[in-house]
């Protein structure tokens, strides 16, 4: 196996490259300074020159609110980029692992979304990621689509780091309490993607850490584990102005993992503790 990882400087791509290194898998991590995934020729040259057996496509346009103001840029990255990478994979018979999102669902109700539930994204970001999914499915037979949510990792910015930073400036913080989902630690998700890369159990999967919470509960857990006195004030989504609509229900059913022999990830609170320890916020 030989793996190319896009978005290698992002949270997930960074940990995927590390996980592959831990397994001594030949790999190459690339990012925007290596080639532009919206340039079809550049994509084909980069992929065919390296000739991987698997491409793990972590690169994406993820600025959810900004996407509402620049939908074409978002579409070029999330849809066109995914299509070009899929076409390049097809040309060399490589497997593609495409990282998608809970935002492909409208986010209504309180059920856990199955992998085959109807998709109906309500934001530009969600619509372009779904379009990327469809581009991969239309182009390849050998693919994995892995939807995840609420990602946090060592390399880059995320909700946990934002809460820790704001806690130094404020005694209390307003945090949304009516959006429910599962935090996902990239250091836990990355080995699962490596397991998939080694398999032929192609298809659509949901992969997050176990357990669910609201953003407010997530923030409370951060402060509790670090030992901070910062107060979390739960507020509704309607009280927190944002340009893009967020799904209220981001619960993802992960039965497809077990059905195909993959292990579920640890509980998000356990993952958070390990993460806070790694970044030096919790002492052993």
Question: Which residues are known catalytic residues?
Answer: 125
Helices (H), 53-106: 64-67, 71-75, 81-91
User: Which CA distances in Å does 253 have to 16, 212, 248?
Assistant: 23, 11, 16
Partnered with residue 235 across adjacent β-strands are 176
The answer for residues whose C-beta is within 8 angstroms of residue 65's C-beta and 6 or more apart is 242, 243, 244
Q: Are 110 and 249 in contact (CB under 8 A)?
A: yes
120: how many CB neighbours lie within 10 A of its CB?
Answer: 13
Q: How far apart are CA 87 and CA 136, in angstroms?
A: 8
274: how many CB neighbours lie within 10 A of its CB?
Answer: 15
Partnered with residue 206 across adjacent β-strands are 147
User: Which CA distances in Å does 232 have to 13, 19, 165, 174, 237?
Assistant: 31, 34, 14, 6, 15
Token reading at 32: 């925007």
CA dihedral 138, 139, 145, 150 (to 10 degrees): -90
Written in H, E and C, the secondary structure of 70-83 is: CHHHHHHHHHHHHH
Token reading at 167: 């806690």
């Amino acid at each position: 196996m030989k793996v190319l990882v896009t978005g290698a400087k992002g949270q997930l791509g960074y940990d995927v490259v590390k996980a592959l290194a831990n397994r001594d898998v030949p790999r190459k991590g690339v990012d925007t300074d290596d080639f532009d995934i919206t340039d079809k020729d550049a994509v084909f040259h980069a992929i065919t020159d390296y000739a991987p057996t698997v491409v793990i496509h972590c690169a994406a346009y993820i600025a959810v609110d900004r996407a509402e103001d620049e939908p074409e840029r978002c579409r070029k990255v999330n849809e066109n980029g995914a299509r070009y990478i899929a076409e390049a994979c097809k040309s060399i018979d490589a497997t593609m692992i495409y990282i998608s999102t809970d935002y492909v669902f409208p986010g209504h109700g309180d059920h856990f979304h199955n992998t085959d539930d109807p998709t109906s994204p309500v934001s530009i970001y969600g619509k372009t990621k779904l379009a990327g999914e469809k581009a991969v499915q239309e182009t390849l037979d050998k693919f994995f689509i892995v939807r995840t949510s609420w990602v946090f990792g060592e390399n880059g910015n995320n909700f946990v780091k934002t809460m820790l930073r704001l806690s130094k400036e404020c005694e209390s913080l307003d945090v949304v309490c009516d959006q429910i989902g599962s935090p996902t630690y990239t250091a836990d998700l990355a080995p699962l993607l490596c397991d998939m890369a080694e398999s032929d159990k192609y298809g659509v999967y949901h992969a997050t850490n176990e357990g669910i919470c609201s953003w407010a509960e997530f923030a409370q857990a951060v402060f509790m584990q670090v030992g901070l006195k910062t107060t979390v004030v739960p507020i509704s989504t309607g009280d927190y102005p944002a340009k893009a609509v967020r799904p209220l229900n981001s619960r993802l059913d992960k039965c497809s993992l077990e059905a195909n022999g993959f292990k579920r990830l640890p509980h998000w609170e356990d993952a958070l503790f390990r993460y806070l320890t790694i970044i030096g916020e919790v002492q052993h």
